[in-house]
Amino acid sequence: MARKDPFFSTFQEWIELFMHRSMQGTIQYARENGLSMSMIGTLFHLNLRGHAGVSDLGQHLGVSSAAASQMLDRLVEEGLIERTEDPDDRRMKKISLTEKGCQIFRESLSARLRWLDELEKGLTDQEKQTITSALQLMIDKAHDRSPMVKE
Amino acid sequence: MARKDPFFSTFQEWIELFMHRSMQGTIQYARENGLSMSMIGTLFHLNLRGHAGVSDLGQHLGVSSAAASQMLDRLVEEGLIERTEDPDDRRMKKISLTEKGCQIFRESLSARLRWLDELEKGLTDQEKQTITSALQLMIDKAHDRSPMVKE
DNA sequence: CTATATAATTAAGCGGTCTTAAATAATTAG
DNA sequence: CTAATTATTTAAGACCGCTTAATTATATAG
């Protein structure tokens, strides 16, 4: 049950710390701005993937496509996303962030990362370099591309 | 507005990737198990802090203490938390995870980190070492940030 | 062409999670 | 002791987000 593996256990500890911060911030942000967690999840998804279908989004969030459609109505009202027809299959809609939606998403994310500034202050350049490399490594792997060789 | 700082911008990129994964997993997990995001936030908080008061929790989540109290009722029903009187001030309740609550929290967290296995497979020992060190560095710094202002 | 399947939407209704206001209980101040 | 304050709980009601079922529109199979 307990994994000795320092990679995994360190990661898990980090996640407990990190998610506590970021989730609390996200929950509060959502509440203040009248967004549901489904909407937040949708914004994250679209930000990363560019676009998605209605049922797609529903599946990712674990809700029916009817629920997804209704939720998207509200995001359209807010001007955060747009529905366009998929030219290849006109039954489908391509859901994507509007420019405004993209901007607001990124701004709110930065705002919720203010604690990073505090963290950064306590680090030497050497330490920041270590962390930046490690994160870049994970980003590369996640995108399934080989690590950048050198700069 | 845009920050050039590679530490910050790499961190932000990593967070977009990572939160997309972990939030989606958390939202789905919550839905499947009939937990609200407030409940999830509460479990994270208690796991990290050990215990908290009712109003405390409400504030952290951005809801009234009445709402917090009602939510805690349900977590007590589920056997995940317990209310005990604070001996120093008997108006207050000390909310903490039960053993079952603690176990379930950690199990569900591990389950939602299965993608880590995939990530790990793609890494050399050297790379894992880099990442582990970087995370450990951040964990240490995060814990350092206690009330002590000067040293 | 007709029938079937798929994607999205609309509508009705249910239950959950807030809010405010009032009640209870313990502490603190005078 | 009495009055005021603080922490929590209870109760009533509003709103939101979900579900299922029915509808519309497009695509595909025979």
Summarize pLDDT for A104-140 with one digit per residue, the tens. 999 999 888 888 999 999 999 999 999 999 999 999 9
Residues of A whose CB is below 8 A from B131: 7, 11, 134, 137-138
The distance (Å) linking the CA of A34 with the C1' of C8 is: 25
pLDDT for A88 beyond 70: yes
Q: Is the pLDDT of residue B151 over 70?
A: no
Separation of alpha carbons A49 and A68, rounded Å? 17
| The token pair that represents A42 in the structure block | 């949708």
pLDDT of residue A125: 96
Q: How far apart are CA B85 and CA B122, in angstroms?
A: 49
pLDDT tens-digit map of A20-61 = 999 999 999 999 999 999 999 999 999 999 999 999 999 999
Tell me which residue of B17, B14, B71 sits closest to B41, measured CA to CA: B71
- Whole-number pLDDT of residue B44: 97
What 3-state DSSP class applies to A73?
Answer: helix
pLDDT above 70 (res A146) = no
Per CB-CB distance under 8 Å, the chain A contacts of B63 are 31
More confident residue, A115 or A82: A82
Question: Out of B10, B31, B113, whose CB is closest to A12?
Answer: B113
pTM (predicted TM-score): 0.91
CA distance B19 to A48: 11
Helix axes B6-32, A54-61, angle to 10 degrees: 80
Q: How far apart are CA A100 and CA B8, in angstroms?
A: 23
B88-147 residue pLDDT tens: 999 999 999 999 999 999 999 988 888 899 899 999 999 999 999 999 999 999 887 443
Q: H or E segment at A96? A: strand A93-97
Where residue A53 falls (left for φ over 0; alpha for ψ -120 to 50; beta otherwise) is beta
- Please tell me whether any atom of strand C lies within 7 Å of the Cβ of B30: no
Query: What does the pLDDT read at residue B114?
Result: 86
CA–CA dist B35, B39 (Å, integer)? 6
